[in-house]
Amino acid sequence: MKRKIAKMGDQLLNKKTRNVTDVNDKEVKKVITDLQDTFNSSNQFTVGISAPQIGYDMAICLCKDIEAEKLYLLINPKILSRSEEQESHIEGCKSVGKGEDGLETVLGHVERAKEIVVQYTDRAGEVKTMKANGFFAAVLQHEVDHLNGRLFVYYIDDPAKLVKRGEYLEKDIII
């Protein structure tokens, strides 16, 4: 079922989520279905969503690798390593602000590790390890941050790094 997105200020967005102990649990399956339904009803710019964003205290997220055109379900994801090399990406978040058109209204330049290794459990209960780089690494870090009670705006120490979507699109830069 499509769920309403929690907004900045919601206590669930500021706390570490609890780990899933049984991927076959009825509640876990419901959360996964709700995540998928909410993700699928989102705009074309959506590349990730996490359980706390739709009101659940569980370490589950969906992340889209736009280059590989693949959607990953990650349960209990943990970043095992991060490259020292950083990359800046423009990030937005449905929990930070959304306009009448359904698009995020506030975006920001965020520095993140260019390459990461993440360990997660898949829907079948298998523990997997994945290496990601570039934009997909940023997406994974953004969603894992949600599971740890952090929003992208917490990384922005200079208001000049915040951008309104209209200003961003006027520069002909595409997410």
Residues 83-104 have pLDDT tens digits of 999 999 989 899 987 655 555 6
Helix, strand, coil in percent for the chain, rounding step 5 = 30, 35, 40
pLDDT greater than 90 at residue 163: no
Mean pLDDT of the chain: 90
Active-site residue list: 143
Please tell me which of 107-111, 131-135, 159-163 the model is most confident about, judged by mean pLDDT: 131-135
User: How would residue 172 be classed by pLDDT, with cut points 50, 70 and 90?
Assistant: very low
pLDDT recorded at residue 159? 81
H or E stretch covering 80: strand 70-82
DSSP code string of 118-161: EEEE-TTS-EEEEEEEHHHHHHHHHHHHHHTT--GGGG--SGGG
- Contact between 105 and 99 under an 8 Å Cβ cutoff? The reply is yes
User: How would residue 60 be classed by pLDDT, with cut points 50, 70 and 90?
Assistant: very high
Quick one: fold of 11-170?
Peptide Deformylase (3.90.45)
DSSP code string of 43-65: -TT--EEEGGGGT--BSEEEEEE
Phi, psi of 39 (to 5 degrees): -60, -50
Distant-in-sequence, close-in-space partners of 79: CB < 8 Å, separation ≥ 6: 116, 117, 118, 140, 141, 144
pLDDT recorded at residue 173? 36
CA angle 103, 109, 173 (to 5 degrees): 60
Give the domain ranges of the chain: 11-170
CA 110 to CA 95: how far, in whole Å?
A: 16
Q: Report strand pairing: 115-121 vs 70-82.
A: antiparallel
Residue 106: CB atoms within 10 A of its CB come to: 20
pLDDT greater than 60 at residue 4: yes
Query: Tokens at residue 167, please?
Result: 């200003």
Give me Rg for the CA atoms of the chain.
Answer: 15
